[in-house]
């Protein structure tokens, strides 16, 4: 299942100011009102910069009734007057809801009269409004361009807020974090900003900051699915690990309880670094941020994760393993570590949006084990016409009974292997990255592999049937 952040309405009160707000902007006479202003149209202060000249000239020579039109079409060489016309028209276009045209006109006004503050603030307001409209329409690249242009005009907190969210949605978490933290520093305290920051910290495995931000989001009224459960999990983990020690290697931080256990920790860290190289080579993926791994006493592991006794580990943003798993031998440990580290890579690349069959399938491939049981299970299913549709394998396998679960894992394994064999690791990585931002799996398949999801499944089924003969 695909979780989507609900975009809370962030439309700010930026609206294009009417031209009159400018200190020296003369009120152009509306048609029919000309006689009242006549050649006095230029207000005090305008004459000094020549601003009022064409108006005055028009008023003096033409019949007063034609004044408004004369001003509007005057082949004037006065940039200030032209800029003002652009601004006036922009206000009309803004009121009509045509922000693209509004922005063009205001850019023009600004080019003609770069020192007029009104045009700068109007342009910025229009850009901000248009950028937030882009966010609501999920046009994130367009939003980034507009926010960036708006930011160059003057620094405003809500620009950082919108920009940060747009970067988050285009999968640029470091830029997103920088912008959102600037927004918070500038006073942003809305649920969406906190929630997005919390998710970014979760993705980069910073549990303490994630917990602080998610608590702030809940306090600001965030009502996101799973938020309360995530906060509870982070709080449980923090409490359970209060007296854990941390040991580091190049790419991992391993947390382990209290005294002793150094030998076990070193064994696990070595296995993890080996997994980093092997899984990295498979997906050309070598993250710089260190991944956190926690080694729990067996009973704590089961209580915290709710995993069955045979489970060798889980990945939920961190790799969690029961210390008893080490007793099962180094080959078993290496296999578990490769499997869980592959989950870390897949979840990170796809931002958790990869369907479960891809996630469990690729993790099994990463184990580098030949498992005759998987082939047998699959052959039986093909013979009995019992192959499950991929749609049934998109979400968690825990709802399956034991037999269905073994088939689900076997199918996931062969589907992932087929994908890798046919498309290559590089394209599988691109697929995972496309899943992070695409709105459907089908979109991601088309974007990264040039084939529809249905097409892939049809070919996969044909290959499974052929392989089973
Ligand atoms: Zn798994």
Residue 334 maps to a domain: yes
Q: 339: CA distance to ligand 1 center in Å?
A: 6
Q: How far apart are CA 152 and CA 131, in angstroms?
A: 14
* Per-residue pLDDT at 112: 95
* CA 242–ligand 1 middle distance (angstroms): 27
Token pair for 392: 């049934």
Å from CA of 343 to ligand 1 middle: 7
Distance 319 CA to ligand 1 centre (A): 11
What is residue 422's predicted lDDT score, i.e. its pLDDT?
93
CA distance 456 to 281: 25
How many angstroms separate the CA atoms of 163 and 151, rounded? Answer: 10
Inter-residue contact 161 to 188 (CB < 8 Å): yes
Furthest C-alpha separation in the chain: 101
Q: How many domains does the chain have?
A: 4
The reported pLDDT for the residue numbered 139 is 95
Measured CA to CA, the distance from residue 134 to residue 315 in angstroms comes to: 35
C-alpha 250 – ligand 1 centre gap (Å)? 24
333 CA distance to ligand 1 centroid (A)?
A: 14
Say yes or no: 408 and 278 in one domain: no
Residue 20 alpha carbon to ligand 1 centre in Å: 64
Domain holding 210: CATH number?
Answer: 1.25.40
Q: Where a domain ends, among 154, 184, 214?
A: 154
Same domain? For 110 and 29 the reply is yes
Q: Are residue 325 and residue 361 in the same domain, yes or no?
A: no
- Of 132, 146, 160, the closest CA to residue 13 belongs to 132
Do the domain assignments include residue 162? Answer: no
Centre of ligand 1 to C-alpha 308, Å, is: 13
Please report whether residue 161 resides in a domain.
no
CATH number reported for the structural domain that contains residue 251 in this entry: 3.40.30.160
Tokens of 74: 């005057």
* 295 and 371, same domain (yes or no): no
Nearest to 464 by CA among 403, 421, 404: 421
Claim to verify: residue 324 and residue 440 sit in the same structural domain:
no
The rounded radius of gyration (Å) of the Cα atoms in the chain is 31
User: Full-prediction pTM beyond 0.85?
Assistant: no
Structural domain boundaries enclosing 225: 170-240
Point out which residues pair with 81 in neighbouring strands.
none
Is 372 found in the same domain as 318?
Answer: no
Question: How high is the pLDDT of residue 467?
Answer: 77
Q: What is the DSSP string of 147-209?
A: HHHHHHH---HHHHHHHHHHHHHTT-HHHHHHHHHHHHHTT---HHHHHHHHHHHHHTT-HHH
For residue 263, report the distance from its CA to the centre of ligand 1, in Å: 26
Query: For the residues of 261-311, what is the DSSP string, one character each?
Result: -HHHHHHHHHHHHHHHHHHHHHHT---SSPEEEEEE-HHHHHHHH---TT-
β-bridge mates for residue 57, sequence order: none
* Residue 154 CB-density burial (10 A; 0-12 exposed, 13-18 middle, 19+ buried): exposed
- The answer to whether residue 164 sits within a structural domain is no
> What's the CA gap between 189 and 253, in Å, rounded?
32
Q: How far is the CA of 453 from the centre of ligand 1 (A)?
A: 22
Same domain membership, residue 145 and residue 4: yes
Q: Is 242 exposed, middle or buried (0-12, 13-18, 19+ CB in 10 A)?
A: exposed
The CA-based angle 414-419-425, given to 5 degrees, is: 120
Residues in the chain: 469
CA of 145 to the centre of ligand 1 (A): 39
Report the interhelical angle of 262-283 vs 356-367 (nearest 10°). Answer: 110
In a domain, 163, yes or no: no
Specify whether 130 is located in the same domain as 1.
yes
User: Are residue 134 and residue 2 in the same domain, yes or no?
Assistant: yes
Distance 272 CA to ligand 1 centre (A): 16
Structure-block tokens of residue 139: 């046009």
Ligand 1 centroid from CA 408, angstroms: 12
Cα angle at 371 between 367 and 373, to 5 degrees?
A: 140
- Distance from residue 366's CA to the centre of ligand 1 (Å): 10
Question: 400: CA distance to ligand 1 center in Å?
Answer: 15
End-of-domain residue from the set 192, 224, 240? 240
Note the pLDDT of residue 128.
Answer: 96
Residue 18 has what DSSP assignment? P
Residues 247 and 188 reside in one and the same domain: no
Residue that finishes a domain, picked among 240, 259, 283: 240
Residue 454 within a domain: yes
Tens of pLDDT, residue by residue, the chain (469 residues): 332 222 222 223 334 443 333 333 333 223 333 333 333 333 333 333 333 222 222 233 333 333 233 344 445 579 999 999 999 999 999 999 999 999 999 999 999 999 999 999 999 999 999 999 999 999 999 999 999 999 999 999 999 999 999 999 998 999 999 999 999 999 999 999 999 999 999 887 788 899 999 999 999 999 888 899 999 999 988 888 888 888 889 999 999 986 667 888 889 999 999 999 999 988 888 988 889 999 998 888 988 888 777 778 999 889 999 988 777 778 888 999 999 999 999 998 998 899 999 999 999 999 988 778 888 999 999 999 999 999 999 988 878 888 888 999 999 999 999 999 999 999 999 999 999 989 999 999 999 999 999 999 999 999 988 875 5
Q: How much distance in Å is there from the Cα of 280 to the middle of ligand 1?
A: 17
Would 2 be classed as within a structural domain? yes
Q: Are 90 and 39 contained in the same domain?
A: yes
Distance 359 CA to ligand 1 centre (A): 7
**Does residue 159 belong to any structural domain of this protein?**
no
Q: What spacing in Å lies between the alpha carbon of 341 and ligand 1's midpoint?
A: 10
416, 357 in Cβ contact below 8 A? yes
* Residue 294 β-bridge partners: 255, 320
Tokens of 128: 């901000």
Residues 62 and 44 in one domain: yes
């Amino acid at each position: 299942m695909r979780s989507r952040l609900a975009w809370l309405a962030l439309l700010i009160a930026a609206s294009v100011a009417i031209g009159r707000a400018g200190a020296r902007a003369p009120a152009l006479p509306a048609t029919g009102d000309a006689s009242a202003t006549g050649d006095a149209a230029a207000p005090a202060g305008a004459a000094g910069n020549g601003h009022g000249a064409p108006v005055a000239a028009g008023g003096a020579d033409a019949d007063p009734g034609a004044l408004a039109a004369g001003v509007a079409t005057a082949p004037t060489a006065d940039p200030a007057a032209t800029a003002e016309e652009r601004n006036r028209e922009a206000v009309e276009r803004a009121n009509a809801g045509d922000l693209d045209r509004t922005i063009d006109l205001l850019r023009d006004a600004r080019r003609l009269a770069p020192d007029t503050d009104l045009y700068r603030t109007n342009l910025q307001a229009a850009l901000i409004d248009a950028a937030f409209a882009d966010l609501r329409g999920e046009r994130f690249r367009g939003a980034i361009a507009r926010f960036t242009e708006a930011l160059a005009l003057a620094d405003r907190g809500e620009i950082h807020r919108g920009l940060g969210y747009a970067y988050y949605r285009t999968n640029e978490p470091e830029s997103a974090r920088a912008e959102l933290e600037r927004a918070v520093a500038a006073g942003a305290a809305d649920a969406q900003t906190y929630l997005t920051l919390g998710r970014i910290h979760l993705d980069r495995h910073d549990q303490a900051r994630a917990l602080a931000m998610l608590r702030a989001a809940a306090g600001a009224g965030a009502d996101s699915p799973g938020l309360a459960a995530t906060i509870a999990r982070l709080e449980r983990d923090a409490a359970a690990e209060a007296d854990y020690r941390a040991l580091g290697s190049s790419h991992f931080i391993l947390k382990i309880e209290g005294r002793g256990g150094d030998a076990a920790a070193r064994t696990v860290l070595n296995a993890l670094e080996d997994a980093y190289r092997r899984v990295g080579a498979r997906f050309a993926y070598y993250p710089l941020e260190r991944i956190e791994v926690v080694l729990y006493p067996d009973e704590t592991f089961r209580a915290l994760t709710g995993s069955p006794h045979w489970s060798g580990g889980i990945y939920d943003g961190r790799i969690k393993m029961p210390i008893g798993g080490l007793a099962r031998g180094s080959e078993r440990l290496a296999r578990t570590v490769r499997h869980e580290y592959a989950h870390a890579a897949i979840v990170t690349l796809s931002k958790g949006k990869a369907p479960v069959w891809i996630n469990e399938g690729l993790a099994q491939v990463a184990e580098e084990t030949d498992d005759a049981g998987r082939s047998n299970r699959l052959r039986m299913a093909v013979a009995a016409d019992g192959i499950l549709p991929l749609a049934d394998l998109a979400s968690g396998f825990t709802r399956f009974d034991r037999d269905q679960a073994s088939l689900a894992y076997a199918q996931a394994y062969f589907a992932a292997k087929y994908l890798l064999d046919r498309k290559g690791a590089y394209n599988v990585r691109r697929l995972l990255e496309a899943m992070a931002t695409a709105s459907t799996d089908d979109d991601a398949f088309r974007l990264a592999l040039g084939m529809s999801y249905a097409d892939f499944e049809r070919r996969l089924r044909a290959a499974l049937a052929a392989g089973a003969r």
